Amino acid sequence: MTRSAFADVKQEPATPMSSSDLSIIIVDDLQFSRIVVKTALKKAGYNDVRMADSAIEALRMLDEKPADVVLADWMMPEMDGLELADQIRLRDEENGAYTAIILFTANEGTEYLVKAFDHGVDDYLRKPPIPDELAARVNAAARIAAMQNDLLETSRQMESKIRRLEEVALIDPVSGAGNQRLLSQELRAHLLEASSRKGGVCLAMLELDQLKNISQEHGAEIEHEILLSLHRRLRRTVRPTDTITRLDDNIFAIIMHHTNPEYYREDSLQRIVTGISQRPLKTSIGNLEVTASMGVQYYNGEDSMISAREMVALAQDKLSMASASADGSIEF
């Protein structure tokens, strides 16, 4: 989206929270462990501390009242800490909020750390936790949650701006993303700016691999729910200033502008594709697993000028190659 379209959307810095303001839930099937952690937090000045003896109980508590930070044991019966993290991230996505998650674990090794982060965990601590370290990690996690929630609020303000653009027919009515007209306008503007200021523009074309089968099996209504959910997930995955549009039944385009081409990273696009398949999309018939293929075309402002039409054609060619490969592939 053009900078002028959102010139009046200002993001305030994350407001620091005092210990007494934070809402914390401790989740552990061992009562002794719960009490040890709660006692340490109380001594550090955290007053709003709830305890749950299972992941199911913790989710019920979150339904009753959101929490800033959830501290959970990795190993628990019925639902472990990683499964709980997945459920919390799904609920956050539905509610437009962010909950910081810290896992307690006796596991050692980088593979466990990577696994935890892949499930949306913000931090993890060895058991038993050192009280001072526990308090510091909780405070840091709370700052992460505050910053994420500020970003989500900025995104909501931007979505409100986007809705106003419907008056000039730039919005896809099904998904809420921009339409092809908005893509053409924004891409031309970004390419011109990149060419004149030696920046860079990335155009990513994304296609859901299973949408056609889902539509045939469940009908257009579920297809529309999937497209709406996908746009919401993309909006929270990309930067607030990136433009998301829908071109046809199953193709989304994302424009990413970089003031310096060196800021462009292919792994940021990999995270978008991974983020789509990592958690199912919620529909009225239940959660549906999906994957996406992506074709990416990058323009460096130091190269010869390229038209928006040429840029789109190149990205579509790469998407076709990615779609012909295994699900979830990317063609750069």
CA distance 238 to 314: 22
pLDDT at 18: 56
Total count of domains within the chain? 2
Q: In what order do the strands lie in the sheet with 123-126?
A: 48-52, 23-27, 69-73, 100-105, 123-126
pLDDT at 148: 87
Same domain, 212 and 80: no
pLDDT at 309: 95
CA dihedral angle for residue 54, residue 60, residue 66, residue 67, rounded to 10 degrees: -10
Other CB atoms within a 10 A radius of the CB of residue 137 amount to: 20
Helices (H) and strands (E) counted in the chain, each on its own, are: 10, 12
Residue 2 maps to a domain: no
Strands annotated E in the chain: 23-27, 48-52, 69-73, 100-105, 123-126, 200-208, 243-248, 251-258, 281-283, 286-288, 292-300, 330-331
Residue 318 maps to a domain: yes
Same domain, 43 and 134: yes
What tokens were used for 126? 């060895």
CA distance 244 to 250: 13
Residue 12 maps to a domain: no
Same domain, 178 and 323: yes
Same domain, 180 and 304: yes
Residue 3 maps to a domain: no
Query: How far is residue 166 from each of residues 98, 169, 178, 180, 270, measured CA to CA in Å?
Result: 29, 5, 9, 13, 31
Indicate the pairing of strand 48-52 with strand 23-27: parallel
Same domain, 179 and 238: yes
Same domain, 27 and 132: yes
Same domain, 250 and 140: no
pLDDT at 10: 43
What would you measure as the largest C-alpha separation in the chain, in angstroms?
67
pLDDT at 313: 96
H/E segment holding residue 313: helix 308-324
Which domain-ending residue is among 153, 182, 208?
153
Q: What are the average pLDDT values for consecutive 10-residue runs of the chain, which has 332 residues?
A: 39 49 92 93 92 95 94 92 93 90 83 84 88 90 88 81 66 89 94 94 94 92 93 89 90 94 88 88 90 95 94 96 86 92
CATH code (residue 214): 3.30.70.270
Residue 4 maps to a domain: no
Q: Cα–chain-centroid distance for residue 277?
A: 12
Same domain, 104 and 239: no
Residue 309 maps to a domain: yes
Same domain, 95 and 216: no
Which domain-ending residue is among 153, 178, 204?
153
CA distance 10 to 158: 10
CA distance 332 to 297: 6
pLDDT at 164: 65
Look up the pTM and report it: 0.57
Same domain, 211 and 273: yes
CA distance 326 to 323: 7
pLDDT at 327: 75
Residues 239 and 258: beta-carbon distance below 8 Å: no
Residue 102 maps to a domain: yes
Structural domain that includes position 108: 19-153
